[in-house]
Amino acid sequence: MRRVSGRVIYSVTAAAILALVAGFAMASITLTNTTQTGEGNYVNSSGGVTGVTYTSTVLGATTNPAPSASSGSAGAPQAVVTAANAFCVNTCTAGDFAQVITYTFTTSMSGSILISVQVTASAGGGSGTLYLKQAGTAVGGTIVLTWDLGTGSSTLTAVTLGLQQCSGATCP
């Protein structure tokens, strides 16, 4: 039987730990500008509503002027209009780093929907919920949600999106 020295065991263990830490670092994105490579690989989108499709999530900058937060509630969801609908999920300041989430909706969307957004980051993370509904006349367009991450550097590790149909005040 061949004896393995303690130095070899320590070296192999250190290399394994380094590989694990490096793997985690590669799975997160440090925000230093708005053109990160590999962005979007950590987005988890779930749920399904007829007529609404998750389109994309892009790291960018908050637009100028910044979008306003949705005024919709579970009992009175905000109506989406034809073409582009822009909402801030938290508090948006023009020029800040932002996670920009886009859904496409068609005239087959009906009733109320709930979109939940959770952003996990070392700074600027949190969660928000939007309650939206189809306008009185069926229309199609996009829903663009902006999550403002602030101006400082941050490590973004996850974006979790949920989409579900709901009915008036019974929305969770």
Query: What is the pLDDT at residue 85?
Result: 96
d(CA 6, CA 4): 7
C-alpha angle 162/168/172, rounded to 5°?
40
Output the CA–CA distances (angstroms, integers) from residue 101 to 4, 40, 132, in the order listed. 53, 10, 15
Helix (H, G, I), strand (E, B) or coil at 6: helix
Residue whose structure tokens are 């779930």 = 46
CA 70 to chain CA centroid, nearest Å: 16
Could you tell me the residue ranges of all domains in the chain? Answer: 31-170
Query: What is the pLDDT at residue 127?
Result: 95
Query: What is the pLDDT at residue 5?
Result: 60
Which residues, at least 6 apart from 93, have a Cβ–Cβ distance to it below 8 Å? Answer: 62, 66, 148, 151
Query: What is the pLDDT at residue 43?
Result: 84
Nearest to 164 by CA among 45, 44, 48, 52: 48
pLDDT in tens, the chain (172 residues): 566 565 645 554 455 454 443 333 334 555 554 444 445 557 888 988 999 999 988 888 899 999 999 999 988 999 999 999 999 999 999 999 889 999 999 999 988 999 999 998 888 889 999 999 988 889 999 999 999 988 877 788 889 999 999 876 666 6
CA dihedral 86, 89, 94, 99 (to 10 degrees): -90
Query: What is the pLDDT at residue 116?
Result: 94
